[in-house]
Chain A
């Protein structure tokens, strides 16, 4: 199983801090999974110009191809101006319309205040559904007060991330099995 962790912002530390914990959790609980963490802050990406994702080169090509090869994607995102960051939206724009077909997508959201709780529900999920992703419905929402000196200080956040990772892997295995069974019935 190929899992990609996508840290969707190029500024700030909270999302990366949480995604680091996701990486650690996956490495410990599911050592057989092939995990890649893509922190957009580490790459220089161009804006989508409408070409096929395979035709991008350099960092942009690497990021789009890695995402397209994944079976599951854990998206980590902060909330900026009551929405997802432009850097994350650009990733969606770089990919084909059905990019998340047969992929499980889960979400981890960091935010300055609880006022942002529904942003993922109302703005991120519709994009993922449109792109045909199988969404892990429950997401992890982490606030400013849960971090201290670039560390997570709320035990409940660890528990919630643990459950998110478990659900992501379980759903990926389940959907893979369902798909295999269904496809075997087609005889082509």
Chain B
């Protein structure tokens, strides 16, 4: 765990993540400028740090209704504006980027941030960026596997010799600068399915598992499959961190949380995925067995501890700005996290 900068004694880490949603507010029909949105994300990271949150990450989505396509640039502003909180990408689409450039960017950020930077590499759930950046969607799997492997190699080896199909060969190449402490934590982003998780296990890399809704117990199968795959390949699962990522929204009461967040989830889904979120499914989100961490602080604490008991994971990251929830609501959420949720989670998960 040390390699990935995780201290098991401190208990479950809590983080926030954003995809940089930039959508007209469904309650007012108005959309803030991209500039305001980006500045608010940077501000949010500062507030998260003040509240004692462990991790903050930004993802790239190359399409309309998002503002953080250049997520590394936003992250580097966050690196500058903060001093303690860990930062990362959620995720970096390595398939459509050059791993050398990605590594240079993140290693530089690691130096700026004083050793707080991590990479979460993913395959993209929306695929418009393949055309935009000049890649063939048919190579979806191979592009990711090859480039992710190269990224890991660059992380391990100061002098790289490599050849592959989708990038020019590297001969005695030095990828510089090097990160502050030799290497960066690099995670593999995984959708909820075991098939995808197994690949992270085979490679023996930490897994970041995203989830929408559904029973928490179902996702345990994914995590078990990951650990089992790692074990079969000779890795020690107890050395490999697991993180989960999904919807989060706290309000005074569970009913209020469901009511406030729903229009953003529904509209956000409509404009980015083409189908709203069924109210029936949303209502089930309140159930303690459901993996969506939406509700009163007490309800959320119970859910997160239940998930921790099931998964024994090292980090949970919360998506509370889906669909462009306005800044003041996010500030309120951070306040509830800092004053009520975090202290309880640490109390129950940290080793005394």
Chain A residues proximal to chain B, CB less than 8 Å: 49-55, 68, 96, 98-99, 101-102, 182-183, 186-188
Number of interface residues of B (CB under 8 A): 18
Q: Please give me the residue from chain A that is nearest to B130 by CB atom.
A: A51
Does B259 belong to the interface (CB within 8 Å)? yes
Evaluate contact between A52 and B126: CB separation under 8 angstroms: yes
Of the candidates B255, B274, B280, B282, the one whose C-beta lies within 8 Å of that of A96 is: B274
B116 to A: closest C-beta gap in Å: 34
Evaluate contact between B258 and A52: CB separation under 8 angstroms: no
Evaluate contact between A54 and B274: CB separation under 8 angstroms: yes
Evaluate contact between A52 and B274: CB separation under 8 angstroms: yes
Does B339 belong to the interface (CB within 8 Å)? no
Most B CB contacts (10 A, CB to CB) among A101, A182, A186, A188 go to: A188
Closest 10 CB pairs of A and B: A188-B259, A188-B262, A54-B274, A188-B258, A183-B279, A51-B127, A186-B279, A186-B283, A55-B128, A53-B274
Within 277-332 of B, Cβ neighbours of A (below 8 Å) are at 278-280, 282-283
Q: Knowing A51-B127, A52-B126 are in contact, say whether A187-B259 is a contact too (CB < 8 A).
A: yes
A2 to B128, CA, bound (A): 29
Evaluate contact between A101 and B258: CB separation under 8 angstroms: no
Interface SS majority for chain A: loop
Does B137 belong to the interface (CB within 8 Å)? yes
Does B275 belong to the interface (CB within 8 Å)? yes
A102 to B266, CA, bound (A): 15
A12 to B48, CA, bound (A): 63
A63 to B: closest C-beta gap in Å: 14
Can you list 15 pairs linking A and B with CB atoms under 8 Å apart?
A: A49-B137, A50-B127, A50-B137, A50-B140, A51-B127, A52-B273, A53-B274, A54-B274, A55-B126, A55-B128, A68-B275, A96-B274, A98-B275, A99-B275, A101-B278
Q: Please give me the residue from chain A that is nearest to B263 by CB atom.
A: A188
Evaluate contact between B274 and A68: CB separation under 8 angstroms: yes
Within 99-134 of B, Cβ neighbours of A (below 8 Å) are at 126-128
A130 to B100, CA, bound (A): 44
Q: Which A residues are CB-close (under 8 A) to B279?
A: 182-183, 186, 188
A96 to B279, CA, bound (A): 18
Q: Knowing A51-B127, A52-B127, A188-B282 are in contact, say whether A101-B259 is a contact too (CB < 8 A).
A: no
A68 to B: closest C-beta gap in Å: 6
- Residues 138-163 of chain B, each 1 if its beta carbon lies under 8 Å from chain A, else 0: 10100000000000000000000000
Q: Please give me the residue from chain B that is nearest to A183 by CB atom.
A: B279
Q: Which A residues are CB-close (under 8 A) to B259?
A: 187-188
A50 to B137, CA, bound (A): 9
Q: Which A residues are CB-close (under 8 A) to B127?
A: 50-52, 55
Q: Which A residues are CB-close (under 8 A) to B273?
A: 52, 54, 96
A187 to B258, CA, bound (A): 9
A52 to B138, CA, bound (A): 14
Evaluate contact between A51 and B137: CB separation under 8 angstroms: yes
Q: Which A residues are CB-close (under 8 A) to B278?
A: 101-102
Q: Which A residues are CB-close (under 8 A) to B126?
A: 52, 55
Within 244-288 of B, Cβ neighbours of A (below 8 Å) are at 255, 258-259, 262, 273-275, 278-280, 282-283
Q: Please give me the residue from chain B that is nearest to A102 by CB atom.
A: B278
B141 to A: closest C-beta gap in Å: 11
